[in-house]
């Protein structure tokens, strides 16, 4: 669930890219990178670690130019290796090319084998390099970047939101069903495309809208243009963005994530009320859900766990042992709040169950009389192939176990997951426009060995549906 950003700004982009990546740090904590272009020269810098660890003022001053792309990485395809740090940068036929990607390709192995048969050499183990190869392979023949991106969309299977810099022009596009988020914003002297609207907020910009599934956005010094390349019967927005991954203050597909999670908490109380002394979140992703539960139930909201704010997300640690060790130093129980209390403990999800078990144990060791666990997602019963590091069915605690057995394993007094209909109602989108593969085992793209309901209707041939931005017209801009 990486974070990507692309900016075109007459005042320079390096510091803006840095602040935008900082706002997207929750989407990836293993590496960060920025590439810029000043009209004649390519600049790039990337490294492993958090944004603030990779960059400093001198580096940002070096990254000159008015167009650039940035990336924070959470690995799915490809390991945590230095060569996999994005953006990826190329030079060919006197063109400068940089690309960053959020998502996961289902057919990555088949594409790699096909390109290798043609003599292609790869320097990374990521599917982002495959996207670059698909684009460059066609661009080499046609010298038309739009044709190259259309070709790319035709052969890719899976999820992808992409920012691409070709010389002084920024391109951004989403897969035809829009699994991964991507939005457009207007800054004082330019434009920004980013995974979440919080990156736009960080630059005091104005959110225009989401990039539409199958849409290509083109931005250069003269303005912004939109081309619809693919059309689908229904979308497939990742439901986990609303439950966990997105920052609560982000707006995704027109929905404020905080309000979605607050409504999830209200539905949780409707479905499984309990007489508790306090409602406590598992911070931070459970916080807004717990606030909704507390408000609706009129049970006092009181934090029972204090989070070490300098710890990353335990869910995206690369091994189970790392996750378990991280929980011990990430969360500290507030014993004075918990002792002898009946606690309603609210969290976003249960994946493997070991972390939930450790948290319940922490609460009981701190003196809680009862721990009633309420979860803001239905049981996760199937792996995710599209960009969230959900493990195999064997590792998923709810895949083959009823709720009561899971309750016993995590030693909770009671356990309830929100129902899927209540979750859909909380989000406010049609279920047909959401990817619920991990919750139902039904996927929106063709995956070998899985039950699928593909949604793509058409990817353009030689003609494209073009739409000039109404935002530009309404603001009286002279930009195209």
> In this structure, is residue 284 part of a structural domain?
yes
Does the N-terminal peptide bond of residue 284 adopt cis geometry, omega within 30 degrees of 0? yes
Taking alpha carbons only, the member of 167, 181, 217 closest to residue 480 is 217
Instruction: Quote the CA–CA distance of 472 and 480 in Å, as a whole number.
Output: 8
> In this structure, is residue 480 part of a structural domain?
no
User: Could you report the per-residue pLDDT of 340-393, keeping only the tens digit for each?
Assistant: 999 999 999 999 998 899 999 999 999 999 999 999 999 999 999 998 777 789
pTM over 0.85: yes
Query: What does the pLDDT average to over 63-82?
Result: 83
Same domain, 151 and 28: yes
- Known catalytic residue: 438? no
More confident residue, 453 or 253: 253
Taking alpha carbons only, the member of 441, 461, 342 closest to residue 399 is 441
Residue 438 · residue 382 · CB < 8 Å: yes
Note the Cα 190 to chain centre separation in Å.
24
Same domain, 398 and 311: yes
Same domain, 40 and 132: yes
Kindly give, in sequence order, each residue whose CB lies less than 8 Å from that of residue 420, ignoring residues fewer than 6 positions away: 378, 431, 436, 439, 440
Q: What is the pLDDT of residue 460?
A: 78
Q: Provide the token pair at 251.
A: 């707006």
Query: What does the pLDDT average to over 76-105?
Result: 86
Residue 462 has pLDDT above 50, yes or no: no
CATH number of the domain to which 138 belongs? 3.60.20.10
CATH number of the domain to which 351 belongs? 3.40.50.2020
Residue 473 has pLDDT above 70, yes or no: no
Residue 289 · residue 268 · CB < 8 Å: yes
> In this structure, is residue 437 part of a structural domain?
no
Residue 122 · residue 112 · CB < 8 Å: yes
User: Could you report the per-residue pLDDT of 185-241, keeping only the tens digit for each?
Assistant: 999 999 999 999 999 999 999 999 999 999 999 999 999 999 999 999 999 999 999
Same domain, 113 and 262: no
> In this structure, is residue 403 part of a structural domain?
yes
Same domain, 210 and 262: no
Residue 82 CB neighbours (<10 A): 10
Same domain, 169 and 64: yes
Instruction: Quote the CA–CA distance of 50 and 24 in Å, as a whole number.
Output: 11
Taking alpha carbons only, the member of 348, 375, 389 closest to residue 76 is 389
Q: What is the pLDDT of residue 474?
A: 43
> In this structure, is residue 8 part of a structural domain?
yes
Same domain, 225 and 272: no
**End-to-end alpha-carbon separation of the chain, Å?**
33
Same domain, 208 and 313: no
Residue 315 has pLDDT above 60, yes or no: no
E strand intervals along 127-196: 158-166, 169-174, 183-187, 190-194
Q: What is the pLDDT of residue 65?
A: 97
Q: What is the pLDDT of residue 322?
A: 58
For 33, 133, 441, 458, 464, the CA distances from 140, given in Å and listed in that order, are 26, 10, 40, 25, 21
> In this structure, is residue 240 part of a structural domain?
no
The helix or strand, by DSSP H or E, that contains position 452, with its residue range, turns out to be: strand 451-452
Residue 432 · residue 440 · CB < 8 Å: no
Residues in the chain: 480
Same domain, 68 and 214: yes
Range of the domain at 408: 256-429
Instruction: Quote the CA–CA distance of 470 and 474 in Å, as a whole number.
Output: 6
Instruction: Quote the CA–CA distance of 228 and 239 in Å, as a whole number.
Output: 24
Same domain, 194 and 103: yes
Same domain, 362 and 465: no
Q: What confidence tier does 143 reach under pLDDT thresholds 50, 70, 90?
A: confident
Note the Cα 114 to chain centre separation in Å.
28
Query: Which residue in 2, 152, 183, 435 is the catalytic one?
Result: 2
Q: What confidence tier does 93 reach under pLDDT thresholds 50, 70, 90?
A: confident
Same domain, 155 and 277: no
Q: Provide the token pair at 125.
A: 């183990």
What is the number of structural domains in the chain? 2
Instruction: Report angle CA 84, 9, 252 to the nearest 5 degrees.
Output: 65
Q: What is the pLDDT of residue 471?
A: 38
For 236, 244, 250, 345, 469, the CA distances from 197, given in Å and listed in that order, are 19, 16, 5, 29, 18
Three-state DSSP at 463 gives: coil
């Amino acid at each position: 669930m990486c974070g990507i950003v692309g900016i075109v700004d007459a005042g320079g982009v390096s510091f803006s890219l840095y602040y935008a990546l900082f706002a997207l740090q929750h989407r990836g904590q293993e590496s960060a990178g920025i590439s810029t272009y000043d009209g004649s020269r390519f600049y790039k810098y990337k490294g492993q670690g958090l944004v603030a660890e990779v960059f400093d003022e001198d580096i940002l001053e070096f990254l000159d130019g008015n167009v650039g792309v940035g990336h924070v990485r959470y690995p799915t395809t490809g390991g945590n290796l230095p060569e996999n740090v994005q953006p990826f940068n190329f030079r060919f036929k006197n063109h400068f090319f940089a690309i960053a990607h959020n998502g996961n390709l289902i057919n990555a192995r088949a594409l790699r084998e096909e390109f290798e048969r043609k003599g292609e050499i790869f320097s990374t183990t990521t599917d982002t390099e495959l996207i670059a190869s698909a684009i460059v392979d066609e661009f080499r023949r046609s010298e038309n970047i739009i044709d190259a991106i259309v070709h790319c969309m035709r052969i890719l299977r899976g999820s992808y939101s992409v920012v691409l810099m070709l010389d002084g022009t920024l391109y951004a596009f989403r897969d035809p069903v829009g699994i991964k988020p991507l939005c457009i914003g207007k800054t004082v002297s330019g434009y920004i495309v980013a995974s979440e609207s919080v990156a736009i907020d960080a630059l005091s910009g104005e959110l225009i809208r989401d990039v539409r599934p199958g849409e290509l956005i083109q931005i250069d010094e003269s303005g912004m243009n939109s081309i619809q390349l693919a059309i689908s019967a229904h979308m497939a927005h990742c439901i986990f963005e609303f439950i966990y991954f997105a920052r609560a203050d982000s707006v995704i597909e027109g929905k404020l994530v905080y309000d979605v999670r607050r409504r999830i908490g209200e539905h949780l109380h409707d479905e499984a009320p309990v007489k508790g002394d306090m409602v406590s979140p598992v911070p931070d992703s459970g916080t807004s859900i717990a606030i909704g539960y507390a408000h609706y139930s009129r049970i006092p909201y009181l934090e029972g766990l204090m989070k070490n704010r300098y710890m990353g997300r335990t869910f995206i640690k690369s091994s189970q042992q790392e996750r378990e060790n991280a929980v011990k130093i990430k969360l500290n129980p507030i014993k004075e709040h918990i002792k002898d209390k009946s606690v309603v403990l609210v969290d976003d999800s249960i994946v493997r169950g070991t972390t939930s078990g450790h948290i319940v144990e922490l609460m009981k060791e701190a003196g809680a009389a009862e721990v009633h666990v309420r979860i803001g997602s239905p049981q996760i019963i199937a792996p995710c192939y599209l960009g969230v590091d959900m493990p195999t069915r064997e590792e998923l605690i709810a895949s083959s176990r009823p709720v009561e057995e899971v309750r016993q394993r995590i030693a909770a007094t009671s356990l309830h997951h929100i129902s899927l209909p209540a979750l859909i109602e909380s989000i406010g989108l049609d279920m047909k426009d959401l990817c619920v593969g991990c919750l139902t085992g039904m996927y929106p793209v063709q995956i070998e060995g899985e039950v699928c309901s593909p949604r793509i209707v058409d990817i353009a041939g030689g003609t494209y549906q073009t739409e000039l931005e109404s935002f530009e017209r309404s603001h009286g801009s002279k930009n195209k």
